[in-house]
Structure 1
């Protein structure tokens, strides 16, 4: 596998990991002791920490890509089988 293909696949895993990571984040503002700001949605997170979310996305994407790469190297992922040519 070319390094550019590996990078593209890793970036796809990284982008899709947001759908796994984001639902587990943030206490609702109504659950927190801090008062709501005017116009704030009660179900919105009380504090937003993008650095932590990006780090967790990176960890999830790295683990998923590692599993994919092991499957690719061992021949468990064959492009011909996936496209129906074999």
Structure 2
């Protein structure tokens, strides 16, 4: 696997995990906290923790990417998964 291909796979994994993690950790909105910043949406997070989300996303993406690399290096592939074969059709 080339470095560019590995970086592309990691980038895709990172974005998927980022969007999976984003809904978690929003404890209070600005409206609930009673501290609405002028010009912002009242449903915006009161204290966003973007650094925490980015670090957590990177750690989880690294683990998933490591598992992907291990699976790729093991030689195990889709051909090794036993799929059900369609029933044979009889002529006549």
TM-score by length of 2: 0.67
User: Which consecutive aligned stretches of 4+ in structure 1 deviate over 2 angstroms post-superposition?
Assistant: 28-32, 34-44
SS at match of 1:23: coil
Write 1 or 2 for the structure with the bigger share of helix.
1
How has the CA–CA distance of structure 1 residues 4 and 38 changed in structure 2, closer, same or farther, with 3 Å as cutoff? closer
CA contact (8 A) 2:22 2:53 kept: yes
Contact 2:14 2:58 survives alignment (8 Å): yes
Unmatched runs of 5 consecutive residues or more in structure 1: 82-86
- Judging changes above 3 Å, is the alpha-carbon distance between structure 1 residues 77 and 43 closer, same or farther for their aligned structure 2 residues? farther
- 1:55 — aligned with what? 55
Task: State the 1:35 CA deviation.
Answer: 2.7
**Structure 2 unaligned residues grouped into runs of 5+:** 80-92
Task: Give the root-mean-square deviation of aligned CA atoms.
Answer: 2.0
Shift of 1:75: 1.6
Larger radius of gyration: 2
Deviation at residue 36 of structure 1 after TM alignment: 3.0
CA distance, structure 2, for counterparts of residue 42 and residue 50 of structure 1: 18
The alignment's TM-score, normalised by the length of structure 1, stands at 0.71
